[in-house]
Amino acid sequence: MVRRKFSQQFKEQVVKECLETGNVSIVARKHDILSNVVNRWVRQYQNGGLSNGKTRAGATVVTSDEYQQLVAEKKELEKANEQLKKTLGEQTLEVSILRDLLKKSNPHLRTK
């Protein structure tokens, strides 16, 4: 079975539905999630928020605003990377053309 990851907003929405309805199993079935997972989310929420749950050693908790900022920064860096690749390709082509021209005008520089 594949382990699914849920966003913080989705978890909070499910927890709020559970607290409103008072029935974890119905909400869990509605969202096709195991009820013990939803129960754990509710406990974490009641103990000070979902972000206080288990995290991997060295893991960083990122808010949705920070995540959006990181996504935008990643797109910007990818664009800059593509531009640099294009520039490098153009320069390589230019060097190759100049070497060919140099060899044609100076036949003694040709290597055998």
Do 42 and 7 fall within a single domain?
Answer: yes
pTM: 0.44
Based on the fold, state whether residues 9 and 42 are members of the same structural domain: yes
Same-domain check for residues 70 and 24: no
Q: What is the DSSP letter of 3?
A: P
Position 31 pLDDT exceeds 80:
yes
Say if 60 falls within a structural domain: no
Give residue 74's domain range: 65-107
Q: Does the residue 95 lie in any domain?
A: yes
Tell me the DSSP string of 18-64. HHHHS-HHHHHHHTT--HHHHHHHHHHHHTT-GGGS---TT-----H
In a domain, 112, yes or no: no
In a domain, 47, yes or no: yes
Kindly report, residue by residue over 55-98, the tens digit of the pLDDT.
555 566 778 888 899 999 999 999 999 999 999 999 999 999 99
Regarding whether 40 and 4 lie in a shared domain, the answer is: yes
Residue 57 forms part of a structural domain:
no
